[in-house]
Structure 1
Amino acid sequence: MKAVIHAEKTGLEGLTYSEIAAMEPKAGEIKVKLKTAGLNHRDLFVLERHKSTEPPLVIGSDGAGIVEAVGEGVTLVQIGDEVMVNPGLGWKEKSDAPPAGFEIVGHPFHGTFGESIILPEENVERKPEYLTWEEAGVLSLAGLTAYRALFTRGKVQPGMKVFIPGVGSGVATFLVQFAKAAGAEVYVSSRSKEKCEKALEIGAHRAIDSHEDWNTALEGLKMDLVIESVGAATFNKSLEILRTGGTIVTFGASAGDEVKINLRTFFYAQQNLLGSTLGSAEEYKEMLQFMESHRIRPVMDKVFTLDQFEQAFNRMEQADQFGKIGFKIS
């Protein structure tokens, strides 16, 4: 089959659009003929984590398509079902942390940037009818990351003031929509005036320039909850606008992972710092139900074909996107 494959060289230089042997499902597995897929920051990181000495790898964690074949003993789906890929492997029930052996589709196992994928039957859910194929193919990893950070870890409630630094990524755009739907007041920051304006269009209450002093821009308003993924560039600024007893949830560090904080200020303010990751199959189902009940759709940036992968990766690497970058496969 045709796929975007990483091999022989680390980084973008190791990517090609070429042929790799297709596989058939074993017992308990299914084969999904993919129609669409979605690009994530994780795919950029995988290009460094997947070593040149390792076997060729089909990357990609998001996808949607039609069940093409089933292995022995499969009962949850049947051939012809329209499904979405849950990229979390081996995490079934909601818990404080993923279990031992938890992995994500696209590394170390083959991912979604190909014509088909083999998965355990429990790693797909039926595609909601109101979503287009492009929307279904891009939402899983970013949507689930946002859902767990906001609801399971952040315990968002109606009336809360929620701040999201660095709006523009797929996760951030889901966070804005999810928090708004949950009844929270949503505040965001970005270096881009255009992204600030787009964030207001999808439900943000206020958007500020990341270069400004945040306390001044927010007129001293303090946040109940901050969802952080930028890291070193914004972490202390996020703490400064967090109220006494407030919570900061972090799930990423796109601008550096080494952060120094004033511990005395932190503990006197009785603030809470929580980490978060992708999420469980239970949370994935909850997320889809929440999205369907509020008719939430992924914010789409651009859709490419798989052979245009270089354009898509460059757009992601340069942080030009607002929302999700997708691939049309079939």
Structure 2
Amino acid sequence: MKALLLVDESQDKIAIREIEKPNPASGEVLIQLKAAALNHRDQWCRIGLYPGIEYGTVLGSDGAGVVVAKGEGVDDYWLGKEVIINPNINWGDNEAAQSVEYHILGMPSNGTFAEFVSVAADRLMEKPSHLNFSEAAALPLGGLTAFRAIFTKAQIQEKQKILVTGIGGGVAQFAFQFAVAAGAEVFVTSGSDNKLQTARKHGVSGGFIYKDEFWVKTAFNETGGFDAIIDSAGGSSMNDYLKLIRPGGRLVHYGSTTGLPKSLDMFRLFWCQASIHGSTMGSDSEFVKMTEFVNQKKIKPIIDSVRSFDDIVSAFDQMHEGRQMGKLVVTF
């Protein structure tokens, strides 16, 4: 079968190779993938900025397809089912945090950038019926990360004011869509006015260009501040968010793409009774709740582009350049 491997002998560091099709072990199923989607972790693996790098691994955490075979002990129910894959492996029993054995499908376990993948049967959820395979493939990792940030950590309620930053990324797009669907008044930031316009078409109340020197003042004057801010940038922007958070508000961070803050305004933090929450992808139970929420609200992922698996390297290059608005999907 064809698969995209992380390789050390190529300048691209990724290459499509022919490898042996996996056989499902006891408790596993074999999925013929119809579509897979990129995440930033795939690009980070490519450039060596992800822990536990193992060359020869099939990358990819997001995928949707059809169960075509099963190992011993798996219910016949799953044969022929259209499914999405929960990319969590060994989250553990603690809902508050992942176990020390935790990792994500696609590194070091072989992932979804292949014609077939073998996973444990308890990683399966039936594909939401209102989504096609390309849309469904875009959902798992980004949707789960956003769901935990929005509902478990930020505890967003109807009519609250929410800010989601950097809405070019897949998680941020799910975050603002989930918050809108929950009845919150949602605002976003981006470096691109075109991306802000796209977000408005999906129900956000307003947006701000973070490259604008005075965007924080503008945002405060227009909104009066936010009950929760969902962010993946971190860095020196932390102090800007503290200027925008309402008393008792929550800052939720699921990444730190701009690094560590040079300083933190502790006085403003404690005086406004704000709280800072770290967040990751999410637990298995949250994956079930996220999928049910998407089904109930008929949410569709924002797709930037869909291309053939043979052109997957170009999708990696586009992600590296940050030109996408929505998920980058490949089909088989």
Same fold? TM cut 0.5: yes
User: Structure 1: which 5+ residue stretches go unaligned?
Assistant: none
Amino acid at match of 2:291: L
Displacement of 1:285 in angstroms is: 0.9
Deviates more, 1:42-51 or 1:101-110: 42-51
Instruction: Establish whether residue 20 from structure 1 lines up as the match of residue 23 from structure 2.
Output: no
User: Structure 2: which 5+ residue stretches go unaligned?
Assistant: none
Partner in structure 2 of residue 215 of structure 1: 216
Partner in structure 1 of residue 136 of structure 2: 136
Question: 1:175, 1:74 → 2: CA distance?
Answer: 34
Displacement of 1:128 in angstroms is: 1.4
Equivalent position SS for 1:4:
strand
Partner in structure 2 of residue 152 of structure 1: 152
Aligned mate of 1:226, from 205, 215, 229: 229
Instruction: Establish whether residue 252 from structure 1 lines up as the match of residue 255 from structure 2.
Output: yes
Displacement of 1:225 in angstroms is: 0.1
Instruction: Kindly report the root-mean-square deviation, in angstroms, between the aligned alpha carbons of the 2 structures.
Output: 1.9
Equivalent position SS for 2:178:
helix
Q: How far does the alpha carbon of each residue in 1:67-124 deviate from its partner, in whole angstroms, 9 at most, with x for none?
A: 1111101128422111101101122657111123111000011000000111011111
Deviates more, 1:84-93 or 1:54-63: 84-93
Partner in structure 2 of residue 186 of structure 1: 186
TM-score (norm 2): 0.94
Over the matched positions of the two proteins, sequence identity in percent amounts to 35
Partner in structure 2 of residue 261 of structure 1: 264
Contact 2:190 2:208 in 1 (8 A): yes
Distance 1:76 1:304, change over 3 A: same
Amino acid at match of 1:91: W
Displacement of 1:9 in angstroms is: 5.0
Q: How far does the alpha carbon of each residue in 1:45-87 deviate from its partner, in whole angstroms, 9 at most, with x for none?
A: 1221579994401000000000111110112842211110110
Partner in structure 2 of residue 176 of structure 1: 176
Contact 1:94 1:282 in 2 (8 A): no
Question: 1:207, 1:189 → 2: CA distance?
Answer: 5
Partner in structure 1 of residue 295 of structure 2: 292
Instruction: Establish whether residue 164 from structure 1 lines up as the match of residue 167 from structure 2.
Output: no
Question: 1:76, 1:85 → 2: CA distance?
Answer: 18
- Higher RCO (CA-CA < 8 Å; seq separation 6+): 1
Question: 2:94, 2:232 → 1: CA distance?
Answer: 22
Q: How many residues align?
A: 328
Question: 1:282, 1:257 → 2: CA distance?
Answer: 31
Partner in structure 2 of residue 31 of structure 1: 30
Contact 2:220 2:244 in 1 (8 A): no
Partner in structure 1 of residue 322 of structure 2: 319
Equivalent position SS for 1:111:
coil
Moved >3 Å (runs of 4+): 49-55
Deviates more, 1:113-122 or 1:225-234: 225-234
Question: 1:145, 1:251 → 2: CA distance?
Answer: 8
Partner in structure 2 of residue 197 of structure 1: 197
Contact 2:30 2:116 in 1 (8 A): yes
Q: How far does the alpha carbon of each residue in 1:239-262 deviate from its partner, in whole angstroms, 9 at most, with x for none?
A: 211112110000011222455212
Contact 1:235 1:259 in 2 (8 A): no
TM-score (norm 1): 0.94
Amino acid at match of 1:28: G
Amino acid at match of 1:242: I
Contact 2:63 2:136 in 1 (8 A): yes
